[in-house]
Structure 1
Amino acid sequence: MASSRTNGNDSWSSSDDEDDDSDEDIDVGEDDDGLDDRFTFFSICSFSHVNPTSSPTFDTLASALQHDVTHYGFDLLRHLVPSIEEDDFFESTIVMVNMCRQFVKDNETNGMNPMELGNQLNELLKNHHGNEEDDVAYFKPVLEDDAILMCIDEIRELKSIKEGETQQQDGFYRQVNKADESNSEISESEIIQRLKSHVTILEEELKRAKTYIASLANDDESVPDDSVGSGGEKLQVKRSSKAKKSIDNDTYYFTSYSNTSIHETMLRDTVRTAAYEEAILSNAESIFRGKTVLDIGCGTGVLSLFCAKAGAKKVIAVDNSDILNQAKEIVKLNGYDHVVTCVRGKIETLLSEGGLPLTDGETIDILVSEWMGYALFFETMLPSVMAARDALMTPVTGSMFPNVSKIFIEGVNDSERLNYWDNVHTLNMSPMKSRMVNELLQEAWVEVVDDKNVITNRKMLIEHNLNTCTDDELDFEAPFELHLRDEKSSAAHNVEVHQLVISFDIDFAVPGTNAVHFSTGCQTTSTHWKQTVLWFDPMHNCPVLGSDTVMKGVFRMERNKENHRAIDMAVKWETGHTGEDGSWVRKMDGVLRRSLIA
């Protein structure tokens, strides 16, 4: 699970700000002679990125790998390349482990049974051909402190044993076993000495693994501090002699959309899909008939087909994942291949290389796309759509579709979540409360929030005109003020705010046309975007609202500096009321920082 990130240069501070742990630097490099007493291994298939504490643990690498074989039918060793050159094996194994971890993380909520997951991983590695440019994305560990990545040499040994190539690598073990079985002339002290020597070798291998992995995860020669977990503890790693590798935050993103389940989830989201269908078909005459349409991130081609049904003369469907192969078949199967042309590629590349089927000077009348992510901007697809807008959209009459987006904030009290542990089947499990809270404070969460728990007004933070907004406007700060709903204000004197909930609304509202709207707020039918939840600490430092007490502050959202597809959020808040003289009387204040990590 990715932890929340803290901006060390953030100037926001307050008396009730969340505390950080020690800022002591831990230097892990050539001068570090320590070896962990033992590792805790997580298998590839059974690790839960949503709830890591529920994941089974293993004391040995072999038992973790065997768990995947037995319960999932997935044998990592079978897919690894022969270890002709040590560095080649080292790098390719890191790539494969992280590729599998990312796949499991992306598909954890898709409901696959164990054997289906194992089969998908087998196919993933079977079709992996070691493209250096694509592999760069997988040099950064998906699972923090992944013990499997610390034991590549042991994996190499297990691989050799599996292949029957053990004469050199397991000779030491055969000698020890022979001495034990036949009581040969090898003394016990000599066996112990050999074991100590082997431990020394493993220590060196561990140091090399730590240094190598960390050097791949850091692409700044100055070796900046990395936030580790939820505290302020820093991890510094000396750079290895390996060439610096840049981090690719695009490949994994496009690859994730090659999975069928994500498209099924979006298509089954009736709020989302029906809104697009109504917006397009109900405006067939006013917007689409006889027009040229560009669909970015077309997926299965559903929006392109809606546009074709609405009478568009030309539809260009663009996607950079291999789902486009099925989109082409679907378009042809439905009889619209004379209207819809499917093009694979990253839109920025297609624009720069002239890869779209457009004549010189030809423009786009309508740019349709479903680019929205969690909290609206997660995955940062909108800038790609805007690049096409600025390059191709017909001036004045052309339009993005949808053309307006809005982001909202509201407060929630979820005391039931905490109180549940007081009586679990008549058992008091209250020690679980602090454990749960520690997990909730690590990052932003995506979940469906029940409207009955919403205690404040729903306040709009920002509205974007998608036809005119600029890239800089996607990172923003916005003031807000929240007060208790009327029914909540009259029902209780003081109410704790446990969560700030972020949602968004989308409008298809081109002037002079049939306007269509959908919302991802708590008050409406839930969508696959759900809501994005920022937890306060419900056991220690929650804002409290009353009939005369409000919360006001500033909300900030921006793209993560290391991975532009992730988003960082910060809320500077305070509660209080207006005094008799009209001045603001503050009661509590604080700063809340959470991230959605891609």
Structure 2
Amino acid sequence: MAEALPDISPTCFIAEDEDSDEWDEMEPPGEQTTCLFCSLQFHTIAVALDHCRTAHNFDLLALKNKYNMDCYSYIKMINYIRLQKPDPTVLLNSTIALWDDDCYLKPGEMEPWLMYDFDDLGSAPSTPHYAVDGKTPISNLNFAELQQHIHNLNLQLKQRDMLIESYQKDMDKMKQITRTLVDTADSKTKEFSLDNKPLVTDSTDYFNSYAHFSIHYDMLNDKVRTESYRDAILKNSDLFKDKTVLDVGCGTGILSMFSAKAGASSVYGIDQSEVVYKAMDIIRENNLQDTIHLIKGQLEKTNLPVERVDIIVSEWMGYFLLFEGMLDSVLYARDTYLTKGGTIVPNKCTISLVGISDPVRYSNLLDFWDDVYGFSMKCMKPDILQEAAIETVPKDKILTESAVVAEIDLMTCSTNVCNFKKDFTLTALRNGTLTSIAGYFDTIFDLPVEVKFSTGPESEKTHWQQTIFYLKDPVELKEGQSINCSISCSRLKKNIRGLYVILNIGSSKYEYIVD
């Protein structure tokens, strides 16, 4: 069993000279203290606290007792106030500590508030915890005791760092062993099971990918996507008026701002990616900070400041609709926070398949490996065929009618929706060679004013494009000829956000990875 870590309270941080055990004398700070809620400045924290209590009705001791705050929580609260600039009544009336996120422990601009001995607040009953007639109260620790306390904390901190380093090495070894076991198991079998109901709860690489601003440019620049959401929200403003909205995976906050513009009384946006900090700037830039409240964190591991919401908005769709696994978070939000009779926007989706005839593209993709600068690389072909491609199919390459293979109602479905099987038929619209199957999805905002958009090859291009499954053995079809097919889809075991797809086209079976 791991040794218990010492309890460390960061009341003060003083640099220690590694070559000496002596302590330099601490000089009293000369920097003035700026009020937490206005621009007034004071000579001491105590006087500033008294001002906050009388002028802004902000009682720090009451807040400390209400949330059982420690020094870490105090530091996060100060950083939260400086970053979010909330009204003091919001802090006092909230049912949870709004600053309870480790992102607010990140070092910012150093100021006297962060050096305040918060642990000593209210600890001496005979001493008032606020200034009286402008005089600073005396600490219950004398100077020598304080020096010894700091010295002990530094020793404890070094001990903790050594323990953490040891634990980290053990964790790395365990991860490597687990990765080896999973890789071995996944290479032996790729079972499809409708009983498998995984829930995506963590993926650092996935969230980090959304910290790149180019991704958000591509999404915002996708007019089909963004204007459909805008129209669905603003044309249904009666639905949003005076409602509480949760934006799951808020990104740059565009859906939150549409919701606020539609009349929502409160909007809570949550995102695990670092882009949420830019979104906070965007919200303030548009003077919407009183309506929109952004939170950095993973929804499944975060307590929201409200128990229920009336509407959930989210742009969760990935390639082939289900890639990325973000639907799990939307369904978690639905089951945890959506009020009875509430709405999810959008609330319905379908997945469709259509036959494609593009011999030139097929030849360029596969025959390329026959002669690569004079060398044969034919062994690459099986792997190329197994990977689903993301491409835009020209309209004139469509060979068959399309077939809907999955219908999803977000109000009733479960996370098991990613695992499905479906028999379908493709009928040729003309003579041609079936070289691939293209997958796409339609999104429906089934609201009083209905809005929908498609990512199919016959519709305007979106950043999702189409998911292409190339066939090892192309099939010749005549106009009007039908071919019986089936699809099964399940989550990957190695990467739960990816998909494993099996297509049966006539008598041939093909396996693909959407990853």
State the 1:215 CA deviation. Answer: 3.7
Query: Relative to structure 1, is the Cα distance of residues 572 and 348 closer, same or farther in structure 2, using a 3 angstrom cutoff?
Result: same
**Equivalences for residues 33-112 of structure 1 within 5 A:** none
Equivalent pair of 1:279/1:514 in contact (CA under 8 Å):
yes
Partner letter of residue 440 of structure 2?
S
**Equivalences for residues 495-574 of structure 1 within 5 A:** 495-510=432-447, 513-537=448-472, 541-547=473-479, 549-574=481-506
Residue 512 of structure 2 aligns with which residue?
594
Equivalent pair of 2:186/2:494 in contact (CA under 8 Å):
no
Residue 252 of structure 1 aligns with which residue?
205
Residue 295 of structure 2 aligns with which residue?
343
State the 1:226 CA deviation. Answer: 5.0
Equivalent pair of 2:313/2:344 in contact (CA under 8 Å):
yes
Partner letter of residue 218 of structure 1?
T
Instruction: Give the alignment's Cα RMSD to 1 decimal.
Output: 3.4
State the 1:434 CA deviation. Answer: 5.0
Please state whether the residue corresponding to 2:295 is helix, strand or coil.
strand
Partners in 2 of 1:306 and 1:422 — Cα distance?
Answer: 45
TM superposition score normalised by structure 2: 0.61
Equivalent pair of 1:421/1:429 in contact (CA under 8 Å):
no
Query: Relative to structure 1, is the Cα distance of residues 429 and 483 closer, same or farther in structure 2, using a 3 angstrom cutoff?
Result: farther
Query: Relative to structure 1, is the Cα distance of residues 423 and 299 closer, same or farther in structure 2, using a 3 angstrom cutoff?
Result: closer
- 1:471 partnered with 2:415: yes
Partners in 2 of 1:455 and 1:378 — Cα distance?
Answer: 25
Please state whether the residue corresponding to 1:467 is helix, strand or coil.
coil
Equivalent pair of 2:422/2:488 in contact (CA under 8 Å):
yes
Partners in 2 of 1:300 and 1:421 — Cα distance?
Answer: 37
Query: Relative to structure 1, is the Cα distance of residues 420 and 274 closer, same or farther in structure 2, using a 3 angstrom cutoff?
Result: same
Residue 275 of structure 1 aligns with which residue?
228
State the 1:259 CA deviation. Answer: 1.0
Equivalent pair of 1:421/1:428 in contact (CA under 8 Å):
no
Residue segments in structure 2 that go unaligned for 5+ positions in a row: 1-160, 191-199
Query: Relative to structure 1, is the Cα distance of residues 548 and 226 closer, same or farther in structure 2, using a 3 angstrom cutoff?
Result: same
Equivalent pair of 2:366/2:381 in contact (CA under 8 Å):
no
State the 1:553 CA deviation. Answer: 2.1
Residue 407 of structure 1 aligns with which residue?
351
Residue 219 of structure 2 aligns with which residue?
266
Residue 310 of structure 1 aligns with which residue?
262
1:176-221 deviations in Å (ceiling 9; x for gaps): xxxxxxxxxxxxxxxxxxxxxxxxxxxxxxxxxxx9997463245x
Partners in 1 of 2:434 and 2:373 — Cα distance?
Answer: 23
Residue segments in structure 1 that go unaligned for 5+ positions in a row: 1-128, 140-210, 233-246, 575-588
Residue 224 of structure 1 aligns with which residue?
184
Query: Relative to structure 1, is the Cα distance of residues 469 and 248 closer, same or farther in structure 2, using a 3 angstrom cutoff?
Result: closer
Partners in 2 of 1:466 and 1:212 — Cα distance?
Answer: 37
Partner letter of residue 331 of structure 2?
M
Partners in 2 of 1:453 and 1:377 — Cα distance?
Answer: 25
1:412-456 deviations in Å (ceiling 9; x for gaps): 1111124559999xx999998957744531311111111211100
Query: Relative to structure 1, is the Cα distance of residues 327 and 457 closer, same or farther in structure 2, using a 3 angstrom cutoff?
Result: same
Equivalent pair of 1:422/1:429 in contact (CA under 8 Å):
no
Match of 1:293 among 227, 240, 245: 245
Partners in 1 of 2:365 and 2:221 — Cα distance?
Answer: 34
Residue 365 of structure 1 aligns with which residue?
310
Equivalent pair of 1:402/1:508 in contact (CA under 8 Å):
yes
Partner letter of residue 437 of structure 2?
L
**Equivalences for residues 86-165 of structure 1 within 5 A:** none
Residue 451 of structure 1 aligns with which residue?
395
Query: Relative to structure 1, is the Cα distance of residues 430 and 571 closer, same or farther in structure 2, using a 3 angstrom cutoff?
Result: farther
1:561-583 deviations in Å (ceiling 9; x for gaps): 22211111111231xxxxxxxxx
Partners in 2 of 1:132 and 1:409 — Cα distance?
Answer: 51
- 1:460 partnered with 2:397: no
Matched length: 342
Please state whether the residue corresponding to 1:570 is helix, strand or coil.
strand
Partner letter of residue 281 of structure 2?
E
Equivalent pair of 1:298/1:318 in contact (CA under 8 Å):
yes
1:311-345 deviations in Å (ceiling 9; x for gaps): 00000000011111111110011011100000111
TM superposition score normalised by structure 1: 0.53
Match of 1:388 among 311, 316, 333: 333
Residue 119 of structure 2 aligns with which residue?
none
Partners in 1 of 2:437 and 2:262 — Cα distance?
Answer: 40
Please state whether the residue corresponding to 1:366 is helix, strand or coil.
strand
Identity of aligned residues (%): 33
Partners in 1 of 2:356 and 2:374 — Cα distance?
Answer: 22
Equivalent pair of 1:249/1:563 in contact (CA under 8 Å):
no
Partner letter of residue 443 of structure 2?
I
1:380-420 deviations in Å (ceiling 9; x for gaps): 00011101101111212x11100100000011111112455
- Which one scores higher on RCO, CA 8 angstroms, separation ≥ 6? 1
Partners in 2 of 1:418 and 1:385 — Cα distance?
Answer: 37
Please state whether the residue corresponding to 2:408 is helix, strand or coil.
strand
Please state whether the residue corresponding to 1:464 is helix, strand or coil.
strand
Partners in 1 of 2:321 and 2:372 — Cα distance?
Answer: 39
State the 1:224 CA deviation. Answer: 3.4
